[in-house]
Structure 1
Amino acid sequence: MAQPQIVDLTEIPPVACPCGSARRALSDFAEFPGTVHLTDIVASAHRHHHEHHTEIYVILQCDDDAAIELDGVRTPVSPLMLVAIPPGVVHRAIGEMRVLIICHPEFDPTDEVLGEA
């Protein structure tokens, strides 16, 4: 029988990503077909897309003028908004923010395709 997991995301070492830095969890939890990331996004975040991943961003904290850019269209965001990003959509966050990202299927860094900054 599967066992539950309790994860303190702040204890996971951050890794660099096109957005800033991410703390990725649950890659070893077979009962969940994805990963969960606590991501600190910096103002210099890069446009990118994923060929296979769907990402759900839950905005936890953000600058007052923060936005999300999806296929070139900017939309203002605020804490506790959710953004669902299907595969192929070129995206980036604008402004500093902290987001919880639910990624399906499990995150694979080779699925990240960078665009121009």
Structure 2
Amino acid sequence: MSASSTSGYEVVHLAALPGVPCPCGTARRGLAEVADYPGTIHLTEISTDAKLHYHKRLTETYYILECAEDAQMQLDDARIDLKPGMLVMIRPGTRHRAIGQMKILNIVYPKFDPSDEWFDD
């Protein structure tokens, strides 16, 4: 069972959800169908060919679960080194991509909307 609902709480097994292709790699998106939760939480496997993109409305927060020692994040024209346990909050309009393979938890507000993925090319 990947999700269950009761009157006071929700339970989601992110790893059991189907993976969906995204500009970063593959995302397993939790709580999307829960009407009274204002966002979504994604377990995302970042691939080595993640695409630079941005969102006009969405704020994303990446929590780095696993990554290589040389993993980085491109945020507009800056690059920052990453390590497990770090949080990176990405405001709307910030062009971003993860560099290197990694596994992250992505907390998205408001709820993820694939029509709010934008590319410069």
Quickly name the TM-score band, shorter chain normalised.
over 0.9
Superposition deviation, residue 2 in structure 1: 4.0
Q: 1:9 and 1:114 mapped to 2: Cα distance?
A: 27
1:30-109 matches, within 5 Å, as 30-109=35-114
Distance in 1 of aligned mates of 2:74 and 2:120:
13
SS in 1 for 2:21: strand
Following TM superposition, the consecutive aligned residue runs of length 4 or more in structure 1 with deviations greater than 4 angstroms are none
- For 2:94, give the aligned amino acid: V
Q: TM-score, normalised by structure 1?
A: 0.95
**Which of 11, 15, 25 is residue 6 of structure 1 equivalent to?**
11
Unaligned runs of 5+ in 2: 1-5
Across the aligned residues of Structure 1 and Structure 2, the Cα RMSD in angstroms comes to 1.2
Match of 1:20 among 20, 25, 28: 25
Aligned residues: 116
Cα separation, 2, equivalents of 1:40 and 1:115: 23
Q: How far did 1:30 drift?
A: 2.4
Query: Aligned residues: percent identity?
Result: 47
- The CA deviation string for residues 62-103 of structure 1, in whole angstroms up to 9 with x for no partner, is 011000000021000000100000000000000000000000
TM-score by length of 2: 0.92
Greater length-normalized contact order (CA 8 Å, ≥ 6 residues apart): 1
Q: Which amino acid counterpart does residue 44 of structure 2 have in structure 1?
A: T
Q: List runs of 5+ in structure 1 lacking aligned partners.
A: none
Deviation digits for residues 30-61 of structure 1, max 9, x if unmatched?
Answer: 23200000000011000000000000000000
